[in-house]
Amino acid sequence: MEVDKKEEIASDSSEQVVNPWEVSAKDGGKIDYDKLIDQFGCQRLDESLIDRVERLTSRQPHVFLRRGVFFAHRDFDLVLDAYERGDKFYLYTGRGPSSEALHLGHLIPFMFTKYLQEAFKVPLVIQLTDDEKCMWKNLSVEESQRLARENAKDIIACGFDVTKTFIFSDFDYVGGAFYKNMVKVAKCVTLNKAMGIFGFSGEDHIGKLSFPPVQAVPSFPSSFPHLFPGKDKLRCLIPCAIDQDPYFRMTRDVAPRLGYSKPALIESTFFPALQAKNGKMSASDPNSAIYVTDTAKDIKNKINRYAFSGGQDSIEKHREIGANLEVDIPVKYLSFFLEDDAELEHIKKEYGEGRMLTGEVKKRLTEVLTGMVERHRMARAAVTEEMVDAFMAVRPLPNMFE
Amino acid sequence: MGFSKDHLLARLQELQIDYSKYEHPPVLTVEEQAKYVSSSEGALSKNLFLKDKKNRYYIVSAMTDTKVDMKVLSQRLGLGKGGIRMAPEEALSELLQVSLGCVTPFAVVNESARDVSLLLDQKFKNQTRCIFHPLSNDVSISLNTLGLDKFLQSIGRDSVYIDLEANPVVGKDQPPDLAVYVPSNSVVVPELPTKTASIQTASKNVSAEKTKPVASAKPSKLAGNVKSAVEDSALLVFKNPEKFVEEILDKTTALLLSEGKGENVEALAETFRKRLTSEFTHLAVMYKNTAYSQGFYAGTQSQPKRP
């Protein structure tokens, strides 16, 4: 049984707030992930699970697993058990297309999902919640649809395989079997429960209230009759950032009542803003983030000027005490994106003990990020309108488990 | 034809000018060049080939992070505010005898460039070494400014270093400070139809798709044109099997050239696998996606079989 937290939405600033629409730490400090796991009731992703993944996929686990970026889960062990027995699963992730500008924080779940698709050889559905953004950000229907398509291009550029991936926008796809499931889910959640989970109030319009089932039902294979006909017991694994947990707590609560399997989750920490003080990277502050459209020069400038450094004020002091790795942003970013474990350890040691200076760490980070953004740009340039149409076409995927 | 890169390098050696040479795939932009030549080898340069309204030409060579304000430069040269712009592609081939993406101070070695004014960023003087193309964009060389000066002297030129970021007042009582560097002779470059220009400028490594007409483009547009030329060729990599293979071999050989010194073959093979696997998989997936999308589109357009 999921723990029902009535005091979920603590608008008290002395508590940290984590929900799909707001992420802020306690008293402007750091997010306490242990407390979050406790509060939400999910599990830590421990070493043994990571080792299992390595064994089952015969390849090195993704850097995000090795570094604890994806750190929590629900039922991931059950998914692996089933996989070992030969029962496959499908992946489900999504994006709320609120802006054209995508930053590196947005790419993280997609980079990880791509790895999962390749490593486990499973299909994937990607939901673009244009309706959600239309309602919450007060965009016009046309604008949110346009943004959804533009975002789809950046998502495709992450390297998903078109023969195993279905991308859909809510405005295009809701209806038929998908809508039937939405109604089934909606019948199981009272207004009071929804208000408790999501913090809705009497002032919110009814569009918002009716949205959660839209994000819930892609967890059920029967929502996609063109993809999974007759596979009603197929499991679903959802890679997402931990702020999305409330939607899926609700979904997991409802699933057994509908005779469906509960979706499993694998959850990530937030990607910190460059200046560190905000809870996570925000699309509304251009200097808090590195965008996929940034030039090499932009990246270098942003890192040099805005990346919060844990180095000491003077070189002498730095050589004596070393850097504060806890708050240093460049090292944090490198832990997300620098593939080579040995190199990262070396940097942490040398920088933490004062032998390496901030400038050098920032330089390495700039190299790594510039490489990533360049590769993304090249791939993005190759995404044509036809390719988007192909990914979004309601078509069968006959080779989805190959 | 003009001086070739080998000719130039031989001349540098004759003059006992110390330089380091780096070979790499042809690059059209500083960003690309930066991928193959690390900044620890020297300061990369950006090189602009400019022309004024009276058909006088200038090469401005600067550190990549120096801000070159065309309006200010134009005023300081005494040409008014909008007096200077990017030179057209034909001028590049006619006067400097180099290809797109290859403007370099060394181009003044050619007789055809005798009236081209060369302005160098004074910040180069603080660098141990600076990096330029030796008349070809598949090689970069790094050398100290003293070496560059020596070379220029040998062809009867003075080195002109200026503070490119200075913005002095130019007015009635303050004459333009760079006016002395405006060439005394103007050059008329015959206007060739675009096709001929492309053939003339295409050096052996630049494919036809990469060369785009650049006539009278503003600086940011030039960067945009070169960038879109690079992005168009990115599209081709995913559509065309030959370009796809070329891209893979380019990346592999670049890695071989940079890592292959003295490593034993097994370790090298491991390095290759480690560094290239994910990148090449990504390339292959995009190639597959492109093929599928083209097929999918064809499917939507195809007519049903006649019964």
pLDDT in tens, A80-114: 999 999 999 999 999 999 888 789 989 999 999 99
What rounded mean pLDDT belongs to chain B? 79
- pLDDT for position A289: 87
Q: Does B286 touch chain A (CB under 8 A)?
A: yes
Q: How far apart are CA A134 and CA A143, in angstroms?
A: 8
Three-state SS annotation for chain B? CCCCHHHHHHHHHHCCCCEEEEECCCCCCHHHHHHHCCCCCCEEEEEEEEEECCCCEEEEEEECCCCCCHHHHHHHCCCCCCCEEECCHHHHHHHHCCCCCCCCHHHHHCHHHCCCEEEEEHHHHHCCCEEECCCCCCEEEEECHHHHHHHHHHCCCCCCEECCCCCCCCCCCCCCCCHHHCCCCCCCCCCCCHHHHHHHHCCCCCCHHHCCCCCCCCHHHHHHHHHHHHHHHHHHHHHCHHHHHHHHHHHHHHHHHHHCCCCCHHHHHHHHHHHHHHHHHHHHHHHHHHHHHHHHHHHHHCCCCCC
Give φ, ψ of B61 to 5 degrees.
Answer: -115, 120
pLDDT tens digits, one per residue of B250-287: 989 888 888 777 768 888 888 888 888 888 999 999 99
Indicate if the pLDDT at residue A231 is higher than 50: yes
Residue A159: closest CA among A128, A130, A119: A119
Which residues touch A25 (CB under 8 Å, ≥6 apart)?
A16, A31, A32, A279
| Average pLDDT of the segment spanning B188-203 | 45
Confidence of residue B299 (pLDDT cuts 50, 70, 90): confident
**pTM > 0.80: yes or no:** no
Lowest mean pLDDT among A115-124, A307-316, B193-202, B285-294: B193-202
The mean-pLDDT minimum among A197-201, A216-220, A300-304, B165-169 falls in B165-169
Residue of A nearest to B65 (CA): A297
Higher pLDDT among residues B152 and A28, named by residue: B152
Reported as a pLDDT band with limits 50, 70 and 90, residue A277 is: low
Contact A159 B285 (CB under 8 A): yes
- B279 and chain A: CB distance < 8 Å anywhere? yes
Put simply, whether A183 touches B (Cβ < 8 Å) is no
Residue B64 confidence (pLDDT) above 60 = yes
Pair type for strands A235-241 and A264-268:
parallel
Calpha distance A298→B167 (Å, rounded): 24
Query: Phi first, then psi: what are they for B235, rounded to 5°?
Result: -60, -40
Beta bridge partners of A266: A73, A239
Confidence check: pLDDT of B173 > 80: no
pLDDT digit string, tens, across residues A322-333: 888 888 999 999
Q: Is A51 on the interface with B (CB under 8 A)?
A: no
| Count of pairs with CB atoms under 8 A, one residue in A, one in B | 63
Contact criterion met (CB below 8 Å) for B50 and B181: no
Q: Which of A150-164, A280-294, A322-336 has the highest mean pLDDT?
A: A150-164
Q: Is the Cβ of B209 closer than 8 Å to some Cβ of chain A?
A: no
| B5-191 topology per CATH | YbaK protein (3.90.960)
For residue B216, the model assigns a pLDDT of 33
Q: Do B289 and A295 touch (CB under 8 A)?
A: no
> Does the pLDDT at position B4 exceed 60?
yes
Start-to-end CA distance of chain B, whole Å, equals 65
Kindly list the residues from chain A whose CB atom is less than 8 angstroms away from the CB atom of residue B233: none
A60-80 pLDDT tens trace: 999 999 999 999 999 999 999
Place of tokens 């060739």: B192
- Asked if A295's CB is within 8 angstroms of B31's CB, the reply is yes
Q: Is A160 on the interface with B (CB under 8 A)?
A: yes
From the candidates A64, A298, A386, which should be mutated to test the interface with B, based on the most B CB atoms within 10 A?
A386
Does residue B224 carry a pLDDT above 90?
no
* Rounded Cα distance, A360 and A350, in Å: 11
Q: At residue A197, does pLDDT exceed 50?
A: yes
Q: Compare CB distances from B293 to A161, A374, A387 and report the shortest one's residue.
A: A387
Chain A positions in Cβ-Cβ contact with residue B64 (cut-off 8 Å): 297
Question: What's CA B60's distance to the chain center, in Å?
Answer: 13
> What are the Cα distances from residue A314, in Å, to A305, A348, B280?
17, 19, 43
| A284 alpha-carbon distance from chain centroid | 18
Buried-exposed string B35-65: b where 16+ CB fall within 10 A, e elsewhere: bbbeeebbbbbbbbbbbbeeebbbbbbbbbe
In angstroms, the CA A165 to CA A163 distance is 6
Strand-pair category, B130-132 with B57-63:
unpaired
A233-253 pLDDT per residue, tens: 999 999 999 989 988 999 999
Amino acid sitting at position B270: E
Of all residues in chain A, what percent carry a pLDDT higher than 90? 71
**Which of B281, B292, B286, B298 is CA-nearest to residue B235?**
B286
| Three-state secondary structure readout of chain A | CCCCCCCCCCCCCCCCEEECCEEECHHHCCCCHHHHHHHHCCEECCHHHHHHHHHHHCCCCCHHHHCCCEEEEECHHHHHHHHHHCCCEEEEEEECCCCCCCEHHHHHHHHHHHHHHHHHCCCEEEEECHHHHHHHCCCCHHHHHHHHHHHHHHHHHCCCCCCCEEEEEHHHHCCHHHHHHHHHHHHCCCHHHHHHHHCCCCCCCHHHHCCHHHHHHHHCHHHCCCCCCCCCCCEEEEEEEHHHHHHHHHHHHHHHHHCCCCCEEEEECCCCCCCCCCCCCCCCCHHHCCECCCCHHHHHHHHHHHCCCCCCCCHHHHHHHCCCCCCCHHHHHHHHHCCCHHHHHHHHHHHHCCCCCHHHHHHHHHHHHHHHHHHHHHHHHCCCHHHHHHHHCCCCCCCCCC
The CB density around residue B137, as the number of other CB atoms within 10 Å, is 26
In the chain, the amino acid numbered B51 is: K
Give the ipTM of the model, two decimals please: 0.81
- Pair of tokens at residue B110: 């050619």
Mean pLDDT, chain A, rounded, equals: 90
**Pick from A68, A63, A9, A75: nearest CA to A33:** A68
Is the predicted pLDDT of residue B222 greater than 50, yes or no? no
> Which residue in the block uniquely carries the two structure tokens 């830590």?
A44
CA neighbor of A233 nearest in space, from A56, A371, A48, A78: A78
pLDDT, tens digit, for every residue of A346-372?
A: 999 999 998 999 999 999 999 999 999
Nearest CB neighbour to A386, from listed B34, B282, B294: B294
Q: Nearest 5°: CA angle at A369, between A366 and A371?
A: 105
| Contact: A161, B65; criterion CB under 8 Å | no
Q: B85 pLDDT exceeds 70?
A: yes
pLDDT single digits (tens) A333-351: 999 999 999 999 999 999 9
Task: Please check the confidence at residue A125 and state whether its pLDDT lies above 90.
Answer: yes
pLDDT at B219: 36
Using a CB-CB distance cutoff of 8 angstroms, which residues of chain A are in contact with residue B297? 386, 389-390
β-strand partners of A58: none
